[in-house]
C-alpha cells in the first residue's frame, strides 16, 4: 500500500511542531515494506527504546518491493527531519544483502541496503563516510552473515545511534549501487521526467513541475511514453473530474507537480508504471487509422459522422488529430499491405470498418495498437474477438426476426423470395444462415444466389429473374451494398422490389429497408474511439449492438414499381427518399 502522502503529511506536522523547539529530541526514522507489527520492526523498536528511552521513533510503511518509491520517501524524510536524526530504510529486493551506512553534511546518518535506496540522497545531498556495516565487533564477534535478519538490523541500528565513528562499523564502500534519475527537462517541447511515487489510488506524481511544462495548457492531448516501451494518451485538465469516468487525465497538483491519473481507476496498474518510470511527454496529434474493405455510401456516412462526433469530443482534424484512411476497394488480398502501410506511417489506433477489414486487423495489427471495429455483423463468428488483446467495437447485426417481419409486412402474401450475397464474406454467410432460418419459420422459400465478387451480380440477378422472383433481399453484404445503385436500376426495369438492411440501400434505389440506426452506430464509434484514446481498454468494453428499427423507404422506386406502402410502414419511416 502506498504511503508517500502519509509521510508528507506527517512531516508537515513535524515541521510545525518543531518551529519553537530549540532542543529537538533525537529521532530515528524507519521506512520499510515490513509491517510495523513484523518481528523485524518490533525488535528494532524494543532494542532502541530499551537502550535509548528518550529517542523518538517514526515509522513510515513503504510500498512492497518498490525501491524507487522508497528512495523518494527517504529523500523527503532526510530533507525534513532535523540534523542529528537517524534513518533506516529496509525495502526488498536486496534488503538481505550487504548494508551500508553514510552521513550527510548536516550530520544525518542513514542505514540502507546497498540496493539503490541511497540513489536520491547521493544525488541531491552532500554525503560522505560510506561504510558497510560488517565489523564483527558490533555483532558480538560474529560475522554479519551469520546473524538472523532481525538480529543484524537490531544491532546495526543500535551501533548507528551510539555515535561511534562510522569507520568503526565496517569496511569502506567504494561504489554504492545507484540507479539513473531522470531530471525534468523540456527539450523542444518533449518533456522528460520520471514518476516519484504513486498514491493509494494508483495516481502517479511526477517530478515535472509547471514551470518546465509551460508549453502545455488545459485541454491539450498528451502523448506519454513510459520507459520507451508503453505509449498512452492523457488529457491535460485541472483535476480528476476534468474527464469522464475511467479516462486518463493529467494535471498540476497543489505542489505544481504533474500528476498522471485516471478518473476513478488505477493508472499505475493500467499501464504497469510506478516510481522511477521514465517519461517522455509531448503535446501531440493522435493518428487514427481507418481501414475500409470498400467504400459504399453507408461506409462514407459512417466515417463522416464518426469524425464529426470525434470533433465534438475535442479530436479536431488538422489541430490534434490526423486520419489515415486506406481503402481495399473490395480486394481482400490488399488489406494486409494497407495495414503494413499504416503501421509504417505510424498510427495510434485503428478503426476497421466492415467484417473483412476487421478480420485482417486482428490478424496483422500488433497488440500494442488498439482496435475499435465497426459495421461488423457478427464479430464472434467472424473470429474477430478473443484473438488478441485490446480489441472491441460495434456491431450492426440485424435482428433477422424483425427483418423478416418487415418483409412480410410489405408483402403479406409472399411465398418465394431471392437473395444475392458474396460467399467469401463471413458476415454474409452468417446473415444468409439467419435469413434462411427465419424464412423457413414463415414458410417462405428462399432462393440464394452466391457470388464471389461484383462481376457475378448480373448472372445472379438474371438467375433470380428467370425464376420469376419478385422480391430480392440484400442483407449484411459489403459487395452488394457497394453495388446497390446498379442492382436497383436493373430491378426497377424488371419491376422487382429490393428490400435492404440500411437506409443507404433505400437511398440508392431499393424499395425499402429496415436496419439498426447507422447514425447512432457512427456516433457511437466516435465515442468508443475517443474513450480508447483516453485510456479505457477496449477489452473492458462490451461489443455494442443496436435495435433493428430504422425504416427507410424510396417513394420514386415505389412509383416505378406501382407499389403502395402500408400505412403502418409510412408512419414508422424515419427516412423517405427522394
- State the number of CA atoms in the 13 A half-sphere of 225 facing the CB: 12
Other residues' Cβ atoms within 10 Å of the Cβ of residue 407 = 22
At residue 98, the pLDDT reads: 85
Q: Where in the chain is the domain with CATH 2.40.30.90?
A: 185-283
pLDDT per residue, tens digit, the chain (578 aa), is 445 555 554 554 444 444 444 455 799 999 999 999 999 999 999 999 999 999 999 999 999 999 999 999 999 999 999 999 999 999 988 767 789 999 999 999 999 999 999 999 999 999 999 999 999 999 999 999 999 999 999 999 999 999 899 999 999 999 999 999 999 999 999 999 999 999 999 999 999 999 999 999 999 999 999 999 999 999 999 999 999 999 999 999 999 999 999 999 999 999 999 999 999 999 999 999 999 999 988 999 999 999 999 999 999 998 899 999 999 999 999 999 999 999 999 999 999 999 999 999 999 999 999 999 999 999 999 999 999 999 999 999 999 999 999 999 999 999 999 999 999 999 999 999 999 999 999 999 999 999 999 999 999 999 999 999 999 999 999 999 999 999 999 999 999 999 999 999 999 999 999 999 999 999 999 999 999 999 999 999 999 999 999 999 999 999 999 999 999 999 999 999 98
Answer positive or negative: Cα dihedral of 140, 143, 144, 149: negative
**What is the spatial distance between Cα 333 and Cα 325, in angstroms, rounded to a whole number?**
17
Which residue from 46, 61, 526, 563 is spatially nearest to 301, judged by alpha carbons? 526
Helix (H, G, I), strand (E, B) or coil at 396: coil
Greatest CA separation for the chain: 110
Residue 393: exposure state from Cβ atoms within 10 A (0-12, 13-18, ≥19):
buried
Answer positive or negative: Cα dihedral of 370, 375, 377, 382: negative
Other residues' Cβ atoms within 10 Å of the Cβ of residue 200 = 12
185-283 belongs to CATH 2.40.30.90: yes
**What is the spatial distance between Cα 3 and Cα 427, in angstroms, rounded to a whole number?**
53
Helix (H, G, I), strand (E, B) or coil at 497: strand
At residue 163, the pLDDT reads: 87
**What is the spatial distance between Cα 550 and Cα 538, in angstroms, rounded to a whole number?**
27
- State how far Cα 95 lies from the chain centre: 35
What pLDDT digit, counting tens, does each position of 329-377 carry?
A: 999 999 999 999 999 999 999 999 999 999 999 999 999 999 999 999 9
4-169 belongs to CATH 3.40.50.10790: yes
Do the Cβ atoms of 418 and 471 come closer than 8 Å?
yes
Q: Name the CATH topology of 400-515+548-577.
A: Rossmann fold (3.40.50)
Alpha-carbon radius of gyration of the chain: 34
What distances in angstroms separate CA 280 from CA 118, 195, 441, one per listed residue? 25, 11, 61
Rama region for 94: left / alpha / beta (φ>0; ψ in -120 to 50; rest): left
Q: Where in the chain is the domain with CATH 3.40.50.2300?
A: 286-395, 400-515+548-577
At residue 11, the pLDDT reads: 52
Backbone phi, then psi, for 210, in 5-degree steps?
-65, -25
Counts for the chain of helices (H) and strands (E), in that order: 18, 26
Parallel/antiparallel/unpaired status of strands 512-515 and 550-554 = antiparallel
Which residue from 495, 450, 441 is spatially nearest to 468, judged by alpha carbons? 495
Q: Where in the chain is the domain with CATH 3.40.50.10790?
A: 4-169
E-assigned strand segments in 36-184:
56-61, 86-90, 99-104, 109-113, 127-132
Backbone phi, then psi, for 53, in 5-degree steps?
-65, -20
**What is the spatial distance between Cα 134 and Cα 116, in angstroms, rounded to a whole number?**
19
Q: Indicate the pTM of the whole model.
A: 0.82
CATH code of 286-395, in short, is 3.40.50.2300
Parallel/antiparallel/unpaired status of strands 99-104 and 109-113 = antiparallel
What pLDDT digit, counting tens, does each position of 40-62 carry?
A: 999 999 999 999 999 999 999 99
At residue 8, the pLDDT reads: 52
Helices (H), 18-87: 39-51, 67-80
Amino acid at each position: 500500500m502506498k504511503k508517500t502522502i502519509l509521510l508528507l503529511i506527517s512531516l508537515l506536522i513535524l515541521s510545525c511542531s518543531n518551529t519553537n523547539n530549540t532542543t529537538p529530541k533525537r529521532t530515528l526514522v524507519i521506512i520499510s515494506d515490513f509491517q510495523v507489527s513484523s518481528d523485524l520492526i518490533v525488535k528494532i523498536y524494543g532494542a532502541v527504546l530499551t537502550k535509548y528511552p528518550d529517542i523518538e521513533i517514526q515509522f513510515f510503511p513503504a510500498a512492497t518491493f518498490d525501491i524507487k518509491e522508497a528512495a523518494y520517501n527517504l529523500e523527503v524524510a532526510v530533507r525534513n527531519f532535523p540534523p542529528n536524526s537517524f534513518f533506516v530504510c529496509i525495502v526488498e529486493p536486496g534488503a538481505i544483502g550487504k548494508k551500508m551506512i553514510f552521513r550527510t553534511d548536516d550530520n544525518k546518518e542513514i542505514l540502507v541496503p546497498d540496493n539503490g535506496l541511497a540513489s536520491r540522497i547521493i544525488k541531491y545531498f552532500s554525503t560522505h563516510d560510506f561504510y558497510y556495516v560488517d565489523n564483527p565487533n558490533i555483532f558480538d564477534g560474529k560475522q554479519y552473515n551469520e546473524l538472523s535478519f532481525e538480529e543484524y538490523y537490531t544491532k546495526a541500528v543500535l551501533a548507528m545511534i551510539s555515535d561511534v565513528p562510522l569507520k568503526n562499523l565496517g569496511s569502506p564502500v567504494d561504489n554504492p549501487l545507484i540507479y539513473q534519475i531522470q531530471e525534468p527537462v523540456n527539450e523542444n517541447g518533449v518533456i522528460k521526467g520520471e514518476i516519484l511515487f504513486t498514491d493509494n489510488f494508483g495516481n502517479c506524481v511526477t517530478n515535472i513541475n509547471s514551470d518546465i511544462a509551460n508549453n502545455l495548457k488545459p485541454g491539450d492531448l498528451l502523448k506519454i511514453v513510459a520507459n520507451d516501451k508503453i505509449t498512452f494518451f492523457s488529457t491535460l485538465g485541472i483535476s480528476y473530474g476534468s474527464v469522464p469516468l475511467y479516462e486518463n487525465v493529467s494535471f498540476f497538483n497543489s505542489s505544481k507537480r504533474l500528476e498522471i491519473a485516471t478518473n476513478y481507476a488505477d493508472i499505475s496498474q493500467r499501464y504497469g508504471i510506478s516510481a522511477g518510470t521514465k517519461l517522455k511527454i509531448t503535446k501531440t496529434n493522435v493518428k487514427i487509422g481507418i481501414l475500409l474493405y470498400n467504400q459504399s455510401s453507408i461506409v462514407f456516412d459512417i466515417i463522416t459522422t464518426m469524425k464529426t462526433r470525434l470533433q465534438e469530443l475535442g479530436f479536431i482534424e488538422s489541430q490534434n488529430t490526423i486520419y489515415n484512411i486506406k481503402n481495399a476497394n473490395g480486394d481482400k488480398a490488399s488489406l494486409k499491405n494497407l495495414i503494413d502501410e499504416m503501421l509504417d506511417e505510424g498510427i495510434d489506433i485503428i478503426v476497421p470498418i466492415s467484417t473483412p477489414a476487421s478480420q485482417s486487423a486482428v490478424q496483422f495489427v500488433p497488440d500494442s495498437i488498439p482496435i475499435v471495429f465497426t459495421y461488423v455483423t457478427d464479430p464472434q463468428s467472424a473470429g474477430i474477438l478473443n484473438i488478441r488483446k485490446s480489441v472491441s467495437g460495434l456491431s450492426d447485426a440485424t435482428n433477422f426476426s424483425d427483418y423478416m417481419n418487415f418483409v412480410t409486412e410489405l408483402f403479406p402474401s409472399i411465398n418465394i423470395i431471392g437473395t444475392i450475397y458474396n460467399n467469401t464474406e463471413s458476415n454474409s454467410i452468417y446473415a444468409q444462415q439467419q435469413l434462411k432460418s427465419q424464412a423457413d419459420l414463415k414458410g417462405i422459400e428462399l432462393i440464394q444466389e452466391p457470388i464471389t465478387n461484383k462481376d457475378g451480380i448480373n448472372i445472379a440477378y438474371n438467375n433470380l429473374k428467370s425464376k420469376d422472383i419478385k422480391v430480392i433481399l440484400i442483407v449484411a453484404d459489403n459487395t452488394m451494398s457497394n453495388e446497390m445503385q446498379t442492382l436497383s436500376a436493373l430491378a426497377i426495369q424488371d419491376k422487382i422490389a429490393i428490400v435492404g438492411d440500411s437506409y443507404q440501400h433505400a437511398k440508392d434505389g431499393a424499395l425499402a429497408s429496415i436496419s439498426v440506426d447507422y447514425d447512432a452506430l457512427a456516433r457511437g464509434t466516435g465515442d468508443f474511439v475517443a474513450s480508447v484514446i483516453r485510456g479505457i481498454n477496449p477489452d473492458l468494453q462490451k461489443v455494442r449492438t443496436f435495435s433493428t428499427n430504422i425504416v427507410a423507404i424510396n417513394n420514386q422506386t415505389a412509383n416505378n414499381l406501382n407499389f403502395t406502402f402500408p400505412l403502418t410502414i409510412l408512419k414508422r419511416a424515419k427516412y423517405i427518399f427522394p
